[in-house]
């Protein structure tokens, strides 16, 4: 294993929360797949907004409104550049990934008819299953599942077998939140396009690790949440190809998404405002942009390389614990380790780890079909970020051993 | 022994431990020694709603006293239900209905549980009392 020159100690100074104690022990935060922590640089931007230019955007004639509008739209441009999106109006601000998926699923009611097929991967979390089930119920479409193998990898032969001229939509996560698998989305997008189907990729887990080039991917829709990339909660991004966004009907009605309203008829605003009804999360959007700036300063290649090191180290250390089994052993995976020890309930391990100051996620991770596949109630999930250290991995391993000794 | 005395006993036992890891160890031991529910009663009807892990509770009358048995797929939860059963089982239904649950606060159980587990604890207490109400109606 090659050591990177990544200076984690310096980086950790940016995250004030990492200095706190939990249950009398130094915090070891390993629940990054649920939400990442926020650096001081982003906190400062949020504070600056509320202290100096808090105002509603787009419609105000006064200076504060203009400043807020400029900062919000600048954030949209930052997102556009980060993901190499062709046009800034293809960036829709949402409240998060779930909102983005629901927006598309609702809009597709106009294009899906009874008997059409929509394909979902077997390793989705509920946010990328339920909206499509609801679409299928509304339209009479058929939901089909792309299966996965025991390693937590999609069975691509089965995917190709499921594709047909009935397939209208394929949706898949870029990285699985429960298993860490990096899915072959380039191949999926290419194959789906060959038969004329559209593809939505849930990029929520990928965004903190991979700087996706959405033009190169040629994906139709891509969604992420800011709070997974060191930004604030309650804000996210939906990318949609212009041709699709023009075709999709508005998801919500209200201010900002209109061109003209009379009691007889309403005409809608142009993109992106057509999908941004009401006052948005202005401060969140600005913070989102600042978070991408922060991560880009560190560099995604550095982040990926360091997190791979952590993943490899943590995997080796955890597997040395007798009886520990990791779920999700894909060849191509990122810094998520989902595990159980014999028949100890994951909640029990999580509870003991919490007493030791270690924050992990336990349960089904909003991905119950994956747990059903493995026939387990859930897992303990340790998910790493670039501010975690090998020393923290050692603390986790000791904590897991202690929990095991107590619980068995 | 009255419910009150049993609860005092439990409070005394927990006060012997210096920190919460020791208390957890004790709860786990209690969970391991819990008289298990008969397999036939591990049904969906007997699952307590509100718990993140599964908890089954069965109640039946033995003379004029109500006897609880339980199980859980998580050992700490099993320890919690074991404490509650020790406090409330083998008592007359009306005594269970009237019993205080202040001992839970005294041993600090609720504040040291995660919010989901604390909600589960509240659900467990509620369910034991509901059983008591149902059987009291039967006895009347």
Tell me the per-residue pLDDT of A216-274, one tens digit each, with 9 for 90 and over.
999 999 999 999 999 999 999 999 999 999 999 998 887 778 788 888 888 888 899 99
Contacts of A85 (CB under 8 A, 6+ apart): A79, A91, A214, A215, A239
| Position with higher pLDDT, B39 vs A211 | A211
Per 3-state DSSP, chain B is made up of helix, strand and coil in percentages (nearest 5) of: 60, 15, 30
Strand runs labelled E in A301-399: 324-327, 336-341, 358-359, 361-363, 379-383
Contacts of B118 (CB under 8 A, 6+ apart): B110, B111
The angle subtended at Cα B35 by Cα B31 and Cα B36, nearest 5°, is 90
- The ipTM (two decimal places) reads 0.84
Check residue A266 and give its pLDDT. Answer: 83
Q: Residues of B numbered 34-73 whose beta carbons fall under 8 angstroms of chain A's beta carbons: which are they?
A: 52-54, 73
- Specify which residues A117 forms β-bridges with: A142, A167
Cis peptide before A272 (omega within 30 of 0): yes
Check residue A302 and give its pLDDT. Answer: 96
- pLDDT of A1 strictly over 50: no
A377 in B contact zone (CB under 8 Å): yes
| pTM for this predicted structure | 0.92
Question: Cβ contact (<8 Å) for B73 and A355?
Answer: no
Which residue of chain B is at minimal alpha-carbon distance from A351? B114
Contacts of A404 (CB under 8 A, 6+ apart): A321, A323, A324, A341, A344, A349
B111 in A contact zone (CB under 8 Å): no
What are the catalytic residues of A? 366
**Shortest CA distance to A239 belongs to which of A268, A206, A209, A194?**
A206
| Residue B140 binned pLDDT confidence (cut-offs 50, 70, 90) | confident
| Residue A365 binned pLDDT confidence (cut-offs 50, 70, 90) | confident
CA end-to-end span of chain A: 34
**Shortest CA distance to A241 belongs to which of A117, A104, A141?**
A104
pLDDT tens-digit readout, A188-197: 999 999 999 9
Burial of A111 (0-12, 13-18, 19+ CB in 10 A): middle
Number of domains forming the structure of chain B: 1
For residue B84, what is the domain's CATH number?
3.90.1010.10
Question: Cβ contact (<8 Å) for B54 and A347?
Answer: no
A67 in B contact zone (CB under 8 Å): no
Phi-psi region of A274 (alpha: psi -120 to 50; beta: other; left: phi over 0): alpha
**Shortest CA distance to B109 belongs to which of B133, B82, B130, B132?**
B82
pLDDT tens-digit readout, A303-337: 999 999 999 999 999 999 999 999 999 999 999 99
Check residue B38 and give its pLDDT. Answer: 87
Check residue A367 and give its pLDDT. Answer: 82
3-state secondary structure of A338: strand
Average pLDDT of chain B, as a whole number = 87
Contacts of B42 (CB under 8 A, 6+ apart): B56, B71
- The pair of structure tokens assigned to A360 is 């992990």
Question: Cβ contact (<8 Å) for B74 and A348?
Answer: yes
- Token pair 């201010």 is found at A255
Report the alpha-carbon distance of residue A176 to residue A3 in Å, rounded. 26
Which residue of chain B is at minimal alpha-carbon distance from A405? B25
Query: Choosing among B24, B32, B113, which should be mutated to test the A contact, i.e. which has the most A CBs within 10 A?
Result: B24
Query: Closest approach of chain B CAs to the CA of A125, in angstroms?
Result: 18
Mean pLDDT of A274-284: 94
- Specify which residues A77 forms β-bridges with: none
Architecture of the domain defined by A43-296? 3-Layer(aba) Sandwich (3.40)
pLDDT tens-digit readout, A29-59: 999 999 999 999 999 999 999 999 999 999 8
Contacts of A407 in chain B (CB under 8 A): 28, 75
Report the alpha-carbon distance of residue A225 to residue A205 in Å, rounded. 9
Question: Cβ contact (<8 Å) for A377 and B53?
Answer: yes
| Residue B21 binned pLDDT confidence (cut-offs 50, 70, 90) | confident
- The pair of structure tokens assigned to A136 is 């299928």
- Using CB atoms, pick whichever of B28, B52, B76 lies closest to residue A363: B52
Which residue of chain A is at minimal alpha-carbon distance from B20? A355
- pLDDT of A2 strictly over 50: no
**Shortest CA distance to A237 belongs to which of A375, A374, A95?**
A95
SS (H, E, C) B72-106: ECCHHHHHHHHHHHHHHCCECHHHHHHCCCHHHHH
A407 in B contact zone (CB under 8 Å): yes
- pLDDT of A155 strictly over 90: yes
User: Contact A171/A132 with Cβ under 8 angstroms?
Assistant: yes
Average pLDDT of chain A, as a whole number = 94
Check residue A322 and give its pLDDT. Answer: 97
User: Contact B7/B87 with Cβ under 8 angstroms?
Assistant: yes
Burial of A221 (0-12, 13-18, 19+ CB in 10 A): buried
A401 in B contact zone (CB under 8 Å): no
SS (H, E, C) A241-307: CHHHHHHCCCCCCCCCCEEEECCCCEEECCCCHHHCCCCCCHHHHHHHHHHHHHHHHHCHHHHHHHH
- Token pair 């922590």 is found at A37
Report the alpha-carbon distance of residue A344 to residue A346 in Å, rounded. 6
**Domain of residue B48, residue span:** 3-137
pLDDT tens-digit readout, B96-130: 999 988 888 888 777 666 666 677 788 888 889 99
Q: Which CATH number fits domain A3-30+299-407: 3.20.20.70, 3.40.50.150, 3.90.1150.10, 3.40.718.10?
A: 3.90.1150.10
- pLDDT of A3 strictly over 60: no
pLDDT tens-digit readout, A159-183: 999 999 999 999 999 999 999 999 9
Query: Choosing among B21, B75, B109, B111, which should be mutated to test the A contact, i.e. which has the most A CBs within 10 A?
Result: B75
Residue A184 DSSP symbol: -
Check residue B7 and give its pLDDT. Answer: 92
**Shortest CA distance to A96 belongs to which of A173, A204, A212, A175?**
A204
**Which range (A88-102, A206-220, A356-370, B96-110) has the least confidence?**
B96-110
| Residue B50 binned pLDDT confidence (cut-offs 50, 70, 90) | low
Contacts of B54 in chain A (CB under 8 A): 377
- pLDDT of A350 strictly over 90: yes
- pLDDT of A150 strictly over 90: yes
- Specify which residues A199 forms β-bridges with: A170
Residue ranges per structural domain of chain A: 3-30+299-407, 43-296
Report the alpha-carbon distance of residue A328 to residue A179 in Å, rounded. 5
Mean pLDDT of B52-78: 90
**Shortest CA distance to A23 belongs to which of A309, A357, A307, A295?**
A357
- Using CB atoms, pick whichever of B25, B54, B76 lies closest to residue A348: B76
Query: Closest approach of chain B CAs to the CA of A22, in angstroms?
Result: 12
B90 in A contact zone (CB under 8 Å): no
Check residue A360 and give its pLDDT. Answer: 97
C-alpha atoms less than 13 angstroms from C-alpha of A30 in its C-beta half-sphere: 35
């Amino acid at each position: 294993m090659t050591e990177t020159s990544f200076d984690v100690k310096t980086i950790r100074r940016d995250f004030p929360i990492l200095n706190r104690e939990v249950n009398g022990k130094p915090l070891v935060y390993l629940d990054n797949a649920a939400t990442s922590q926020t650096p001081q640089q982003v906190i400062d931007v949020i504070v600056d907004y509320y202290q100096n230019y808090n105002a509603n955007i787009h419609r105000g004639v006064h200076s504060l409104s203009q400043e807020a509008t400029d900062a919000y739209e600048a954030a949209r441009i930052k997102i556009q550049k980060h993901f190499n999106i062709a046009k800034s109006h293809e960036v829709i601000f949402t409240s998060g990934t779930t909102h983005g998926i629901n927006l598309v699923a609702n809009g597709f009611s106009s294009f899906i008819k009874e008997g059409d097929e929509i394909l979902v991967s077997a390793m989705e979390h509920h946010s990328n299953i339920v909206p499509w089930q609801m679409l299928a119920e509304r339209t009479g479409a058929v939901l089909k599942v792309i299966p996965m193998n025991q390693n937590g990898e999609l069975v691509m032969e089965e995917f190709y077998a499921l594709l047909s001229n009935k397939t209208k939509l394929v949706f898949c996560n870029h990285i699985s939140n429960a298993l860490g698998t990096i899915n072959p989305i380039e191949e999926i997008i290419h194959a789906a396009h060959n038969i004329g189907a559209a593809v939505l990729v849930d990029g929520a887990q990928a965004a903190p690790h991979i700087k996706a080039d959405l033009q190169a991917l040629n994906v139709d829709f891509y969604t992420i949440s800011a709070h997974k990339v060191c930004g604030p909660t309650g804000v996210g991004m939906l990318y949609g190809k212009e041709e699709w966004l023009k075709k999709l009907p508005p998801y919500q009605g209200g201010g900002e998404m209109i061109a003209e309203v009379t009691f007889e008829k309403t005409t809608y605003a142009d993109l992106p405002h057509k999908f941004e009804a009401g006052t948005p999360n202005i401060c969140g959007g600005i913070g989102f942009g600042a978070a991408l700036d922060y991560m880009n300063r560190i560099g995604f290649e550095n982040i990926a390389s360091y997190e791979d090191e952590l993943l490899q180290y943590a995997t080796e250390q955890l597997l040395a614990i007798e009886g520990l089994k990791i779920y999700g052993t894909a060849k191509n995976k990122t810094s998520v380790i989902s595990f159980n020890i014999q028949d100890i309930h994951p909640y029990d391990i999580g509870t003991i780890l919490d007493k030791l100051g270690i924050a992990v996620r336990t349960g089904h991770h909003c991905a119950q079909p994956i747990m059903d596949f493995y026939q387990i109630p859930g897992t303990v999930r340790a998910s790493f970020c670039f501010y975690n250290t090998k020393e923290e991995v050692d603390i986790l391993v000791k904590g897991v051993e202690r929990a095991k000794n107590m619980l068995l | 022994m009255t419910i009150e005395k049993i609860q005092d006993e439990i409070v005394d036992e927990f006060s012997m431990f210096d920190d919460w890891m020791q208390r957890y160890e004790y709860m786990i031991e209690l969970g391991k020694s819990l008289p298990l529910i008969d397999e036939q009663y591990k049904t969906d009807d007997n699952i307590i709603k509100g718990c993140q892990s599964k908890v089954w509770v069965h109640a039946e009358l033995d003379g004029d006293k109500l006897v609880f048995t339980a199980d859980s797929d998580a050992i700490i939860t099993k320890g919690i239900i074991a404490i509650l059963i020790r406090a409330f089982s083998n008592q007359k239904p009306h005594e269970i209905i009237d019993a205080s649950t202040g001992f839970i606060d005294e041993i600090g159980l609720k504040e040291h549980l995660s919010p989901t587990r604390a909600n589960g604890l509240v659900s467990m207490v509620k369910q034991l009392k509901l059983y008591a109400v149902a059987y009291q109606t039967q006895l009347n």
